[in-house]
Amino acid sequence: MRPEAGIENHRKGSEIKEIFEDGLQRELSTEENLLMNNWVQHFTSEERATIINMMKELVNKHKRHD
């Protein structure tokens, strides 16, 4: 794998990771980070956008109920 591809995959997962950390109100563990990276690396741009939008909606609804 090209080094740039690894960096790009990390960037692609960063927003999803941030949403998880925001919703959980904590940083992800090493194991959770690895799982997250393995999960998001297979998403296309459209899939990633859909997942991000769904997660943001879920987190926002959760915050309104707290």
pTM: 0.69
Is 3 a residue whose pLDDT tops 90?
no
Task: Record the tokens describing residue 8, joined without a space.
Answer: 């790009």
3-state secondary structure the chain: CCHHHHHHHHHHHHHHHHHHHHHHCCCCCHHHHHHHHHHHCCCCHHHHHHHHHHHHHHHHHHHHHC
The string of pLDDT tens digits covering residues 5-19 is 455 545 667 899 999
- Look up residue 25 and give its two tokens: 């109100």
Average pLDDT, the chain: 82
The pLDDT confidence band at residue 2, using thresholds 50, 70 and 90, is very low
How many percent of the chain have pLDDT more than 70?
74
Average pLDDT of the residues in 23-50: 94
